[in-house]
Amino acid sequence: MSTDVARACRRKQLASVASGLVAPGAGCAWQDWELACILARLLGTGPHTSEGVTPPYTTALEPARAFVRQALPGFYVVSGTCARTGHASIGPDYDGPDGERLAREWPPDGIAETGWHEELPHRDGPHRECRAILAAAVRALSHQNDRT
């Protein structure tokens, strides 16, 4: 498969996952599975199989944050909930200990330095903060896919 075709397939997969994460009432086992598959591919650990444990990324805050730590090392995560939304912002922490590496891998381009942001309305249920974190992370991965 050519590099352009592989990139286009990856873009479509990431867009589908991101759309599912921001859909009202989202957060289920199949989305956790998709995220585990994305992470396994990024880490080069092979395909995620049913023999492996699939973390509850979409329904628990710590696994959602762990996804970002593993998929996007050196990124900051700021998230929270209020009466109206679950929100998250992520991006490369150029001033952190991984700043030099991040500047090489994620050069400031007008998008990376402002980060990725998601806000999910209150009606989206109790796990909207987790899904906001994950949707922002998947959008960052999609951006990197398009750049390489």
The pLDDT tens digits for 78-107 are 999 888 888 999 999 999 999 999 999 999
- Distance, in Å, from the CA atom of 148 to the CA atom of 135, rounded to the nearest integer, reads 20
Task: Give the model confidence (pLDDT) of 40-84 as tens digits.
Answer: 988 888 777 777 788 999 999 999 999 999 999 999 999 998 888
Residue 124: predicted pLDDT: 65
Average pLDDT over residues 21-42: 84
Residue 122 is classified by DSSP as: G
pLDDT for residue 4 = 80
Answer whether 67's CB lies under 8 Å from 59's CB. Answer: no
On the question of pLDDT at 127 being above 90, the answer is no
The residue count for the chain: 148
Would you list the domain boundaries of the chain? 3-147
CA–CA gap between residue 87 and residue 77 (Å, rounded): 11
How far is it, in rounded angstroms, from Cα 131 to Cα 23? 10
Distance of CA 50 to the CA centre of its chain: 21
